[in-house]
Amino acid sequence: MHGRVIYLAGALGAVLLATLACQISTGGRVPPTRLAPDSTDTVEDLEKDWESALRTAAETGQFTLTINEDQLSSLVAKSLEESEEALLTQPAVFLRDGQIQIYGQAEQSPVTARFYAAITPVISPGGQLSLEVTLVEVGPIPAPDFIQRRVSTFITRAFEGILGPNATRIHFLSFNVDDGLITIVGEIR
């Protein structure tokens, strides 16, 4: 009888450990709350805004484009859905303190960790934009360089995707990130 109890306790312990192993969560940064309620802005709205900005640039030589957090979150989510390598789910983009901040869940079975990336836009003296990844964290630790490079490539491609064939013809005059908005001023050359 005593042997059966020990066997049963061992079996229950193994089931418990297997259950825990399948649900390991390593933690990480928690996204801030939104400054304003989520809206229904989508990638399609962003594309329409960009087309309008291009028409303005054709008339005046200069454009201004404003992108909000929901539009950029939608763009990142769409780009992730189209990517074969995407390990990030539930993306949420926040535009604060001069940075594009991306939060989400990184999943590699059986481990789930919060994901965080901080991206700083930099305009060269020649008007070229680069989106510099300044920090990537998976869970509570900084990600290795190869992951930072993948994030940089991904975000650059997503942004260039919305700009379309004009991406290489844009001379950026300013790219401001603050209070939930990106405001871009530029010229098409």
Residue 67 has pLDDT above 70, yes or no: yes
Query: Any bridge partners for residue 116, and if so which?
Result: 103, 137
Residue 55's pLDDT band (boundaries 50, 70, 90)?
very high
The mean pLDDT value of the chain amounts to 80
Q: How far is CA 64 from CA 98, 130, 137, 161, 170, in A?
A: 18, 18, 32, 18, 12
Q: How far is CA 30 from the centre of its chain?
A: 14
Rounded to two decimals, the pTM is: 0.79
Q: Is the per-residue pLDDT at 54 higher than 70?
A: yes
Instruction: Please indicate, yes or no, if residue 155 is contained in any of the structural domains.
Output: yes
6 assigned to some structural domain? no
**Residue range 98-107: mean pLDDT, rounded:** 91
Check: CB of residue 124 under 8 Å from CB of residue 118.
no
Count of domains observed in the chain: 1
Residue 151 lies in a domain: yes
Q: How much is the pLDDT for 12?
A: 39
- Section 44-67 average pLDDT: 92
- Confidence category of residue 24, pLDDT binned at 50, 70, 90: low
Residue 34 lies in a domain: yes
Which residue range forms the structural domain that includes residue 114? 25-188
Q: How far apart are CA 3 and CA 136, in angstroms?
A: 51
Question: Which residue is listed with tokens 């939060």?
Answer: 103
Q: What mean pLDDT is predicted for residues 113-132?
A: 93
Residue 9 within any structural domain of the chain: no
* Residue 179 falls inside a structural domain: yes
Residue 45 lies in a domain: yes
**Edge-to-edge strand ranges of the sheet holding 170-178:** 63-68, 181-188, 170-178
Query: Which value, to the nearest 10 degrees, does the dihedral of the CA atoms of residues 157, 164, 120, 123 take?
Result: 130
| pLDDT band for position 40 (cuts 50, 70, 90) | low
Is 19 within a domain?
Answer: no
Instruction: For residue 118, list its beta bridge partners.
Output: 101, 135
Residue 5: band (very low, low, confident or very high) from pLDDT cuts 50, 70, 90? very low
Q: What is the pLDDT of residue 27?
A: 66
